Amino acid sequence: MSTTTSLRYSLLLLSLLSSFIVFSSSVATSTHGDFLECMSLYSNTLIPIYTTENPSYSSILQTKIGVLRFNSSTTPKPFLIVTPLEESHVQTIVICSRKHGIHIRVRSGGHDFEGLSYTADVPFIVVDLFNLREINVDVKDEVAWVQSGATIGELNYRISEKSNTLGFPAGLWAAVGTGGHFSGGGYGSMLRKYGTASDNVIDARVVDVYGRILDKKSMGEDFFWAIRGGGGGCFGIVLSWKIKLVPVPPTVTIFSVEKTLAEGAISLVHKWQNVAHMLPQELFIFVMIGMSEHGVQDDNSPMVATFRSLFLGDAKELKIVMNERFPELGLDSNDFIEMRWIQSVLFLGGFPANSSTDILDNMSDQEKLFYKGKSDYVRQPISHAGLELIWERLQKDGHTGMSLMPFGGRMSEISESETPFPHRDGVLFDIFYFANWDENQVSESEKYINQLRRTYEFMTPYVSKNPRAAYVNYLDLDLGQSNNGTASYSQAAVWGTKYFKGNFDRLVSVKSKIDPDNFFRHEQSIPSIAYQHRSFHSDLKLHTSYISSFSSHDELHHKKEFLVFQFSL
């Protein structure tokens, strides 16, 4: 190692030791000094490390905080931020963190709903992947490698640079990091045609708990299965993803129309939920219900239903489909706008349709919001009377809205167990609930969050049951949480079965094999039963109680087999 490198780490070490007492008196300062020394020994190149004393610390931490309610003086802060420049740096971080008992949180885009990629209730460091954002597009083979620090917008932009007839079925919010998005499944405007983002992942490079870089072949079938929808921060650090690009036509068509109560908004939503999942796979129409951007409408109501669409085809064809399948929406030729697929990415992401696609190449300045989100899945149409009550509820709250995303099509053709993401056949649509407020209303944030929670409870009769399912990428600690990832199997099953349904058991099995000591963890992470085995007697009662809640002979037999597996480790 060079003299410059050694000096750099010595200075970092002195800086950390002189100020560490501010962060925690419960962990020995020498532990963190040993960690930095370990980093210097294992890496032959400089790894950027920022302490709270560094002038750039705050800007690096805050730039990637997409949910502003976690950007406050009371939010727990990391005592170090590490921003690896190459794959070997991530290996070094994992090896040294594990060796010296340092808790890590991994961040790609920073838009996780509960801020778990950059907050924790114990002393921790943040491994921020924003420097690992390389994207290599192979038009000939219709594949791409994308590093986890790249955003969805950057990925789409790089694809469009190489081809006007290839795309990728990722989410609508362009600033979201691909690392977290793909890890939870990831879906957007092309899910009805091509499924989730993780359905189209064909390889990956992952740093496991032992610091090894593994690909699909070397990690094995179970590991590769788990990272494609099993949630981020649980199994390892995904460095990059190999994805299968999908064909898109040279011309796509969009529309966006607002409907007020006086214009029959409730009846239109009622019709939508019965037809949207049955439309051609090329047609995606989602609905946003909330306050109009244009203020009070003609009927003295501030509430509107906005129908927004992407069609993988031209306007002439879309007009025929809409006239046949959803004429009630009352669209005319002026409502249909033709454009390139990459322009539709901007439009569906909330940008004006004529915006420059260059915006996607750097999403660091995208608007950040004060909000909380929750999710549901609907498997039976909601009655017209039920929709009227929901409309009244949202109008009363004022700061709560919902977005309805249709399923069907390709989503109904893929088995629930194909990836950890299980919400497939039989789902009519997903509901994303949100409460948002501005900087001047921060003092009332709990009021708005509680309104959202009451709306969620109000929706109980209308959504999926046994379990009431949820989307892991819309992480929601209201569903339950552990103390820094220490939940037992039965405790984690409370939220795990909501996110993963019957796939939860296999995720626990994979976790127990590849990360037996539960190194990669957070408040809602997948538990390691190998780790829990150390407290066998204290946890046995909880497991037995959980098993007894299953009445089906087959389910009971399965749970007993799983219990035997757990305590044989």
Burial class (CB in 10 A: 0-12, 13-18, 19+), 549: exposed
Question: Is the per-residue pLDDT at 542 higher than 60?
Answer: no
What one-letter code names the amino acid at 203?
D
Q: What is the mean pLDDT of the chain?
A: 89
φ/ψ (deg, to 5) at 56:
-90, -5
Tens digit of each residue's pLDDT (9 = 90 or more) over 34-73: 999 999 999 999 999 999 999 999 999 999 999 999 999 9
Split at pLDDT 50, 70, 90, the class of 357 is: very high
With a pLDDT cut of 70, the percent of the chain lying above it is: 86
Tens digit of each residue's pLDDT (9 = 90 or more) over 413-427: 999 999 999 999 999
Q: Which of 194, 371, 433, 474 is catalytic?
A: 474
Split at pLDDT 50, 70, 90, the class of 291 is: confident
pLDDT of 296: 57
Q: Which residue has the higher pLDDT, 546 or 78?
A: 78
Question: Is the per-residue pLDDT at 247 higher than 50?
Answer: yes
Question: Is the per-residue pLDDT at 567 higher than 90?
Answer: no
**Whether 210 is catalytic:** no
Question: Is the per-residue pLDDT at 28 higher than 50?
Answer: no
Token pair for 423:
């919400």
pTM: 0.89
Question: Is the per-residue pLDDT at 568 higher than 70?
Answer: no
Contact 521, 487 (CB under 8 A): no
- Residues 6+ positions from 204 with CB-CB distance below 8 Å: 215, 216, 219, 224, 227, 228, 238, 239, 240, 241, 242
With a pLDDT cut of 90, the percent of the chain lying above it is: 81
Split at pLDDT 50, 70, 90, the class of 405 is: very high
Give the whole-angstrom CA distance, residue 92 versus residue 562.
Answer: 35
Length of the chain: 569
Tens digit of each residue's pLDDT (9 = 90 or more) over 61-106: 999 999 999 999 999 999 999 999 999 999 999 999 999 999 999 9
CA distances in angstroms from 230 to 67, 355, 486, listed in the order given:
22, 35, 18
pLDDT of 569: 33
- Residues 6+ positions from 504 with CB-CB distance below 8 Å: 492, 493, 496, 497, 526
Give the whole-angstrom CA distance, residue 283 versus residue 313.
Answer: 9
